[in-house]
Amino acid sequence: MHIGNLRTALYAYLIAKSQGGKFILRIEDTDQERFVEGAIDVIYKTLKIVGLDYDEGPDIGGPYGPYIQSQRKEIYQQYAKKLVEMGGAYYCFCSKERLEALREECQKRGIPFKYDGHCKNLTREEVEQRIRNGEKYVIRQRIPSTGTTSFHDEVFGTITVENSTLDEGVLIKSDGMPTYNFANVIDDSLMRITHVVRGSEYLSSTPKYNLLYQAFGWEIPTYIHLPPVMKEAGKKLSKREGDASFEDFYNKGYLVEAIINYIALLGWSPGTDREFFTLEELKEHFSIEGLNKSPAIFDVNKLRWMNGEYIRKKSLEEFYELALPYYKKAIKRQDIDLMKLSRLLQTRIEILNDIIESVDFIDELPDYDVQMFVHKKMKTNLENSLEHLKKSYEVLEKLDNWNEEEIHRVLMELIQQLGVKNGQVLWPIRTAISGKQYTPGGAIELLDLLGKEESLRRIRIGIEKLEKAGV
């Protein structure tokens, strides 16, 4: 499920739950050419992970099943034939070639494609004869050529269109399957759907849906059309273009609560400056009035920030449990205190996947360039780094009780004796024992974490590197 799909599902869920209604899962798979193996399972799995529990659906049943459109083919055909009899639809036998020629003609004239009604006035006898002859056909919607059709949308207000501009689209395809436009109207009525939540790209089709509702004498639902989610101004998020799906973010270590919270704010405002909501709180605060008609920009940096805030809100034990699978991937050493590591990491990472890169020095010291010892702000250079590493090694080697408190004590005493700033001693140590510019903790915390033997070994390597560099 891409982010736009999930946001639509979330808003539908919140609208239902905030008004004491039911949230329905329906699988709309009438376009079999676009069917992707396993896609339905992804929908089930995603909704389960994020906690959008539906009241009716294919896997749990309900009073208006089946909830998979490809299993409702006969229902749609029955209503399509009824619509033909009522004069709201007609059989069309136009070949692909004729329609293609018509489409090219419209293109040349610079006008939108619109079926020309070639088969609109065939008599019943002609239709029956052609069907008997085995000719392929579709069933098209019959639209009045004059007048207007209006509908009200909760986000975009009242919209009126000239009927003459509407295309008499296909309702039942030549393979007997309905189009999305027809199947949804039938299902929304039969399943007693009161609120329809979908993307604003369907605004232009809604007048045709209303004409279908009116033809059958059915009640028109409340429409809520959502503006698109954009990755930048003028460019929609698109799974086809490689934009991340919910699953991609989840697998990278974004927390479900953060994703849902962030997506909720992509096009909805609570009317205050508040930014953090649990799903339960969203049910309480969500309102249709807070929906925005402007497209929302998906800012991955804002999502990262929000995810980091959610990580920091966890208890140390909760964070440890979340981090454990990532530790197992990156750390093979058995002597590392992972709870201690969690304490260092929790305030420093924004997504769980960052853990692997943050701790990859623990098992093995990476190869690093001696220039890393040079730090303008810390006032370190190669010469004083070598001097301070040697002196640090001497005091640390004599330490019997290797713990954070004792390490801190002896190094602070050394810094005082040398009469230098803390960074001039601590930066070279941190560089030598991690080989990295950014680490989960400072020099003292890392010395404690790695243990005496490994820490001293790495400091010796740093001394040797600097000496080889001719310092």
236 annotated to a ligand binding site: no
Percentage of residues in the chain with pLDDT exceeding 90? Answer: 92
Q: Tell me, what's the pLDDT at 255?
A: 97
Q: Tell me, what's the pLDDT at 241?
A: 59
Q: Tell me, what's the pLDDT at 234?
A: 66
**Which residues, at least 6 apart from 366, have a Cβ–Cβ distance to it below 8 Å?**
360, 435, 436
CATH topology of domain 73-194: Glutamyl-tRNA Synthetase; domain 3 (3.90.800)
Token pair of 446 as six digits: 């890392």
Q: Which long-range contacts (CB under 8 A, 24 or more apart) does 435-442 make?
A: 435/361, 435/365, 435/366, 435/367, 435/368, 435/372, 436/361, 436/366, 436/368, 437/372, 438/358, 439/358, 439/361, 440/341, 440/344, 440/345, 440/348, 440/358, 440/359, 441/344
Q: Tell me, what's the pLDDT at 353?
A: 95
Q: Tell me, what's the pLDDT at 33?
A: 72
Residue 89 to residues 98, 214, 448: CA-CA distances in angstroms?
20, 13, 78
Mean pLDDT of 102-115: 92
CATH topology of domain 1-60+227-313: Rossmann fold (3.40.50)
pLDDT tens, residue by residue, 173-215: 999 999 999 999 999 999 999 999 999 999 999 999 999 999 9
pLDDT tens, residue by residue, 284-313: 999 999 999 999 999 999 999 999 999 999
The burial class, CB within 10 Å (0-12 / 13-18 / 19+), for 95 is exposed
Strand order in the sheet with 157-162: 157-162, 148-153, 222-226, 195-199
Mean pLDDT of 253-261: 97
Residue 239 annotated to the active site: yes
Beta pairing, strands 138-141 & 89-92? antiparallel
Percentage of residues in the chain with pLDDT exceeding 70? Answer: 98
Q: Which candidate in 239, 313, 314, 421 is catalytic? A: 239
pLDDT tens, residue by residue, 128-147: 999 999 999 999 999 999 99
pLDDT tens, residue by residue, 270-283: 999 999 999 999 99
Tell whether domain 370-468 is in CATH 3.30.70.260: no
Q: Tell me, what's the pLDDT at 263?
A: 96
Query: Residue 337's CB: how many other CB atoms inside 10 A?
Result: 11
Q: Report residue 95 CA to chain centroid gap.
A: 41
CATH class of residue range 315-358: mainly alpha
Kindly report the average pLDDT of the chain as a whole number: 94
| 407 vs 30: which has the higher pLDDT | 407
Tell whether the model's pLDDT for residue 242 goes beyond 90: no
Residue 112 to residues 106, 115, 141: CA-CA distances in angstroms?
6, 10, 18
pLDDT tens, residue by residue, 31-87: 877 777 888 999 999 999 999 999 999 999 999 999 999 999 999 999 999 999 999
35: which DSSP letter? -
Q: Tell me, what's the pLDDT at 231?
A: 82
pTM over 0.85? The answer is yes
Tell whether the model's pLDDT for residue 239 goes beyond 70: no
Q: Whose CA is closest to 330, among 356, 369, 295?
A: 356
Q: How far apart are CA 193 and CA 352, in angstroms?
A: 40
Q: Where exactly are the structural domains of the chain?
A: 1-60+227-313, 73-194, 315-358, 370-468
Q: Tell me, what's the pLDDT at 374?
A: 95
Mean pLDDT of 345-356: 95
Q: Which long-range contacts (CB under 8 A, 24 or more apart) does 53-62 make?
A: 53/23, 54/13, 54/23, 54/24, 54/25, 55/22, 55/23, 55/24, 56/22, 56/24, 56/25, 56/191, 57/24, 57/25, 57/26, 58/25, 58/26, 58/27, 62/24
Confidence of residue 327 (pLDDT cuts 50, 70, 90): very high
Q: Whose CA is closest to 344, among 451, 448, 436, 253?
A: 448
Confidence of residue 243 (pLDDT cuts 50, 70, 90): low
Mean pLDDT of 17-23: 94
Q: Tell me, what's the pLDDT at 147?
A: 96
Q: Tell me, what's the pLDDT at 240?
A: 60
CA 346, 350, 354, 358 torsion: positive or negative? Answer: negative
